[in-house]
Amino acid sequence: MQLKFFRKFRFICSLLILGFLICGPFAVSSFAADARIGFLNIQKAVSSTKEWKSNFNKFKSDFTKEKKRIKIKEQKIKKMLENLNKQSFVLDPELKKKKEDAFRKEKIEFERYVQDQNAEFGKKEKEMTQKILLKMMDVIKKIGKEKKYTMILEQKVVLYHDKGNDLTSIATRAYDRTNK
């Protein structure tokens, strides 16, 4: 969702810039004389907020705990395989088959668990970022209105801009003030 939003945002900005270029230098220069354009690195603005940092630290802590749980399960499966390999020559075929089946079942459950956890953590990170991104968009609109910007563009779609018009840190500070 976040990636789609950024792609759509870049596409719209690219179209605006292309439209200015196609209209010719006179249209662009007359617009530029009246326009006030700001620039922002939205990804940096979001990830620099206190809320995102706090949420990310908790997320990272939960992720580290889960990695430890996965490592323990992985070691258990490796131990099962080692035991199976050691005992395979002395076990009767029926018991060997039961142990192999148990190992396969355990391994498949482990792989599913890891996939589920990866999907869950990906979903949590996406939701966390999306929630903050939506609030950041409101902050950016408010900055645009208060400071009378004609438009505020994502830095990544612009080839050059005056660093004096960079609103990234302003947006981050404004977000932190309004979202304590």
- pTM flag (> 0.75): no
Predicted confidence at residue 93, as pLDDT, reads 85
Domains, the chain, with CATH or none: 2-178 (3.30.910.20)
Contact present, 42 and 133 (Cβ < 8 Å): yes
Predicted confidence at residue 127, as pLDDT, reads 94
Predicted confidence at residue 160, as pLDDT, reads 80
Predicted confidence at residue 90, as pLDDT, reads 83
Q: What stretch of H or E contains 110?
A: helix 93-146
Q: CA 5 to CA 7: how far, in whole Å?
A: 5
Contact present, 180 and 33 (Cβ < 8 Å): no
Query: Could you say which residues of the chain have pLDDT below 50?
Result: 26-28
Predicted confidence at residue 6, as pLDDT, reads 57
Predicted confidence at residue 36, as pLDDT, reads 84
Predicted confidence at residue 10, as pLDDT, reads 64
Within 8 A by CB and 6+ apart from 80, the residues are 102, 103, 106
Predicted confidence at residue 134, as pLDDT, reads 94
